[in-house]
Each structure stands twice: as C-alpha cells, then as structure tokens.
Amino acid sequence: MMNITATDRLSSVKPPRRLLAYTEYARSSWELGALAYTWPTLLHAPLGDQPVLVLPGLGTSGLSTAPLRHTLRALGHSTHSWGLGVNIGPSRRILIGMRAKVDELADQYGQPITLIGWSLGGIFARRLTRENPSLIRQVITLGSPFKLVGHEQSNASPLYRAFSHRHIEDLDFPLERADGPLPVPAVALYSRLDGAVPWQVCRDPNPTAENIEVLCSHLGFGHSLPSLWAVADRLATGFDSSGARAPFVPPAWLRYAYPSTPAVDNAAPALRRVESA
C-alpha cells in the first residue's frame, strides 16, 4: 500500500476561491474600520512585557503592521518594525537586514525576542528561527503559507514574481522540508476566509505547535480584532515550571471568531516547550 506523505496531501490543495481573492481589499478595509470602534476592548487583553519584532507581508512595509505594533505596545510590549521598507522577497538587503535586526534587538534587551511574521514575513520568521534559535523566544505567524508546495497554490504568486529580478535566491518548494518542529514555541494563525493563500498550508502539523483559526481576511490579520486578541494572549501566556503552557481560550464574547478553538470545558491539553516534548 502506497504511503501518502504530508507533502503529497498538501500538493492537491487549491488556491483560495476567486470570490475570496476579489473581496480581500473590501473585507480588510471593513476590518480596519471596525477596529476604530472596537480597539478599546483590546485594552482588556492580557498584558505582557516582551520585546517583539514584526515582519510585514509581501508588497507591504512596516506601515501595514502599525495597528498591531501600536496595540501590543499599549499592552506593555516593546514592539519594533523591521525598518527595511517594502517586503519584496529574498533580496540581499532584506535577508541581511533581518538577521542584523534580530541580532540588534536580542543584544539590546539581553534576552530572546518574539518574532511575529505576517504572510511572507512569517516564512522569513520561521527561517530566522531555525538559523539562530537562541535569539528567539517564540514565533507567531499570521496567515503564513510556510507549507506551500508550489507557486500555483497562491493567489499572491504574480506579485511575488514581479519582484523576482531583485531576489538573490529562489523559493525552494516545499517551503519547509524539515519534518521536526521549530526549536522554539510556535503559534500559527490561519483563516478559512483567506483570499491570498490556502489556509491548509498555514498550519503547523507538529504537536508542539499551536494552530489558531480566526475569522478575518488575509490582509486583515494585522488589524482585525480576533487576530490582535489572539496574538496578545499568546504573548502574555508563559510556560509554567514543568514547561507547559495553557492553550488559547478566547473570551466568551469573542468565541464566535475562533471556529476551531475548543470550548473552555473541552480545552486541548497544555502545550509543552519543544525541548520538553
């Protein structure tokens, strides 16, 4: 009997439907507008004090991550933009600049930092973590297709190819060949309403990782209320003396926005650090 690998299963995944792709800008604009009215509720999210570096998605700059960084800063975290302009993919300036920024912040704070990556930024974040895990506390990805098997699965591929003349390396598919988990805690946010990339390739299959489904558009991950709340919660929730961390449990009034999250009375087992797994 033929064994079907995870890569084989993901290779059959299609890009998001055209309706989702064509309505991305409209839906994300609505989410941004809604944030203006709902942002005060985020001040009731868990507080923390982590140094955080946020990496933007393809074709966007640090400006797109401003709502996320502003929210986390209001909750006590020291947040930083990557400061490298528009994310055009693996150019020399971006690859060298990201590594330098991680080194700079880890040295500045004297402790590992948290990386938050949106879409392509999350792919970069996971790559940076595998290269130098001692500098990273945890990785949170927002709609990042790090399990992508081919360009044809992504509606963002034409934009990526438009920047290809600036790239110093090609994407090697599947994007993550390593079978093992990241060497630090990993949280992956994904959405079935994503119009840019299929949600199936945004999930981490390793048991030490946490996957959180949210209701938002791809372009809304950085400013939708459900996404921001989940990020704030995961940043503030630490590990106990045994190396376990409680799984994400949303507040009752926001429960509808996380379709796959177990109810409080049916919560998933606590997650343990990779080294304790």
Taking only the tens place, the pLDDT of each residue in 94-120 is: 999 999 999 999 999 999 999 999 999
Taking only the tens place, the pLDDT of each residue in 113-142 is: 999 999 999 999 999 999 999 999 999 999
Q: How far apart are CA 276 and CA 211, in angstroms?
A: 19
CA distances from 14 to 177, 199, 275 (A): 20, 10, 35
Percent of the chain with pLDDT over 70: 91
pLDDT for the residue numbered 268: 56
- DSSP 8-state symbol, 190: E
Q: How far is CA 230 from the centre of its chain?
A: 11
For residues 132 and 102, is the Cβ–Cβ distance under 8 A? yes
Q: Where are the alpha helices (DSSP H) in 195-272?
A: 225-236
Q: Which two tokens stand for residue 82?
A: 């990557």
DSSP lists the bridge partners of residue 114 as 52, 138
Which string of b and e fits 95-113 if b means at least 16 CB within 10 Å? beebbebbeebbeeeeebb
For residues 194 and 202, is the Cβ–Cβ distance under 8 A? yes
Neighbour tally for 44: CB within 10 Å: 11
pLDDT greater than 50 at residue 29 = yes
Taking the CA atoms of the chain, what radius of gyration do you get in angstroms?
18
pLDDT greater than 50 at residue 275 = yes
Q: Based on the number of CB atoms within 10 Å of its own CB, is 2 exposed (0-12), middle (13-18) or buried (19 or more)?
A: exposed
Taking only the tens place, the pLDDT of each residue in 230-245 is: 999 999 998 877 778 8
Q: Which two tokens stand for residue 207?
A: 């048991």
Which of the four pLDDT bands, split at 50, 70 and 90, describes residue 251? Answer: very high
